[in-house]
Amino acid sequence: MTKTLRIAASALALSMAAFAVAPGALAADAQGGRGFTAKDMVQLERISDPRVSPDGRFVVYSVRTMDLPANKASMSLWITDLKAKTAPRRLAVSDGGASSARWSPDGKGLYFISGRTGGLDQVYRTDAAGETAVQATKAPFDVGAFKIAPDGKTIVIAQSVFPDCDTLDCTKDKLAAKAGVKTTGVVFDKLFIRHWDAWNDGLQNHLYALKIDDQGLATGTPVALMNGFNGDTPTKPFGGDEDFNITPDGKWVVFSAKPADREESWSTNYDLWRVPMDGSAKPENRTQANKAMDSQPSFSPDGRISAYLAMKRPGFEADRLAIMVREADAKDAKGYGERELTAGWDRSAQSIAWSADGKTIYTTAEDVGQTKLFAIDVKSGKVTALTGEGHVSGFSVGPQSIVYAQDNLKGPAQLYALSTVAKKAQAPIKLTNNNAQALAGVAMGDTEQFSFPGWNGETVHGYLVKPANFDPAKTYPVAFLIHGGPQGSFGNLFHYRWNAQTYAGAGYAVVMIDFHGSTGYGQAFTDAISQHWGDRPLEDLQKGWAFATGKYGFLDKDRACALGGSYGGFMINWIASQWKAPWKCLVNHDGIFDSRFMGYSTEELWFSEWENGGPPYAANTTYSKFNPADHVDQWSVPEMVVQGGQDFRVPLEEGIGTFTALQRKGVPSKLLYFPNENHWVLKAQNSVQWHDEVQKWLDRWTKGEPAK
């Protein structure tokens, strides 16, 4: 461990008590105030993407603001002076919309993405004052992501193009010709035909390099870095600039991508590809030996060591992500000095960031219901937790401090700074206080983590959220939330779709169980759900419910509803026949009805095939073993079904099938259909409607209130 890390670890140990309290101040907690609502939630400012300047003095970050009447969100850039400790200020260049701020290597400029001119997202440049901006790129299509070379002489941008085109003009011509065609039929000869919420239109994300002139603006003809490559970078549907990187010497670009071949929809084999910055050679596969996922290429400041995240098991999207490192001056039997840095750490790394001296890698990882920031010594592999309770959603490493965004069950994210050079113990410094006015007078429910023996006698964790303005003399109806994934977690975080405080604000107690299959408890715990969707997790949920209702006497066992989305929606349909007794009502959001048909109709086939032990036509799979559609004859609990029309992960027919079965069986039921939403409900007014309808459903069956 470096001296800097020893100091930081010491400071952490001495200040943890103070730090553990700090996230509780994220939101006003006015006892006697009004309860938190969905309308409050969608209008909160959302902080993300902190970026510390190269000299460590400033941090710039993004703030998402919602105009609810217009049903439209806008992004702005804010900056704060870490040295002067002045209040954050909004950059004037945000007026045209601004996001994805990145510092120039010399720290004199800021690059960001905006669609202020011509409707296309382009890269713009400003300075730390942020008063005016100049357009830095004039690409023919939206810039999806970008990265500045460490020497400041090149910018690499992502464009959506036809992969068989040698030039950007070729893509422009093809799009123009396509627009003039009057027929609407589309021919496919391989999967994907659609992915997440979009149909395959033949376009792929490819990288292009442009020189940067003395004014910091892109110039010259774009150099195609992926000509002839059949695949996407950034990866679809959620990839960003973490999917590619530039070597410190500026000579190479390394990107993560999966070939869009016949096996694309059932393969998780993303590799790292290296291509010269001048485009003089085709991309070279650098991780061909690993048939599982390789992602997030990164380099030590001196260029001696490269690092990346890697899974080991092909076809499994929830395998543990290890940090791999390759040292330029070391060789192993394969010709590389490669080793797994985190071999002794049973957690899944989410990111990679280097210290200035190259001796430490920072990452975040889920850990027993929290998402923490960790420091890993590159030489020894020793891991040190730098944060405690809460959910770290993003961070940036500066020369003197780390700035991170952290939220928890009681409030949205704020920014904190943690010194890495202080000689005396120091608690993290809170940098922002967004939403203070919006949450003034709002009562949040207190939270408590608990544990109990679950399946196989193994420890399982859960969270209780008390109703706002809790009165220990009263009993309360219960919202029993079941998370999706299934490899996910309802941990200590402020969720913007399944937010426990919206139920607490309406007078409900909330119980959430991180059943076997959840993340953050070791890979064996996560693995335990595969091919066991309907037994081990169900046992955990049942035992968790029994434990919670036994421990917390204010939980009214006779007034409880269970709710879940995605896998949680599957579980709702499963417990409709397998565990009906406790529930007055059920809510299923985009959940699986027919496991076998799901295996043929979902887009990412690797998911259903891994979880069920093979494709639906294969023998010895679990599609029929845990199939809600085969047990509809036992359904009787009132159930509300929510479904998005643009959901290609759990397609529309799954929701319609569930509702049809309920109606045909004569079970009280309701269908809420969003034609313009995907697997998630993202539009603000739709989110409010979702919560209002769900709340009325719960109230009807737990409080005896008539349906409206």
Q: How far is CA 426 from the centre of its chain?
A: 30
Cα separation, 643 vs 657, in Å, equals 11
**At residue 26, what are phi and psi to the nearest 5 degrees?**
-65, -30
- Please give the structure tokens belonging to residue 198: 């979009």
Quick check: 405 and 22 in contact, CB under 8 A? no
Q: Out of 566, 595, 608, 687, pick the active-site residue.
A: 566
Residue in 99, 679, 691, 699 annotated catalytic? 679
Catalytic residue among 647, 669, 691, 699: 647
281 vs 17: CA distance, rounded Å: 55
Do 363 and 383 contact (CB within 8 A), yes or no? Answer: no
The conformation of residue 424, written as its DSSP 8-state character, comes to: S
In 200-313, the DSSP E strands lie at 204-212, 218-224, 244-246, 252-257, 271-276, 284-285, 294-299, 305-310
- Residue 568, token pair as written in the block: 């949680």
What is the rounded distance in angstroms from the CA atom of residue 325 to the CA atom of residue 322?
Answer: 10
Distance CA 565, CA 16 (A): 35
Nearest-angstrom CA–CA distance, 691 and 695: 6
Residues 6+ apart with CB under 8 A from 354: 298, 299, 300, 301, 307, 360, 361, 362, 397
The strand order across the sheet containing 134-135 reads: 99-103, 110-114, 122-126, 134-135
- Distance CA(72)–CA(412), nearest Å, equals 20
- In DSSP terms, which residues pair with 298 in a beta bridge? 307
Q: Enter the tokens of residue 679.
A: 């697997």
Catalytic annotation on 679? yes
Residue 408 φ/ψ, nearest 5 degrees:
-155, -175
H/E run at residue 576? helix 567-578
Q: Is the link from the previous residue into 638 a cis peptide, with omega within 30 of 0? A: no
53 among known catalytic residues:
no
Which residues does 685 contact at the CB level (< 8 Å), separation at least 6?
42, 68, 71
The CA angle 375-152-143, to the nearest 5 degrees, is 85
**CA 412 to chain CA mean position, Å:** 15
CA 146/CA 156 separation, integer angstroms: 5
Rounded CA-CA distance 555/558 in Å is 9
Determine contact, residues 18/430, Cβ cutoff 8 Å: no
Partners of 207 in beta bridges: 158
Residue 637: name the closest of 692, 697, 691 by CA.
697
**Residue 393 a catalytic site member:** no
Cα within 13 Å of Cα(214), Cβ side: 0
Q: Provide the 3-class DSSP secondary structure of residue 418.
A: strand
Active-site residue set? 566, 647, 679
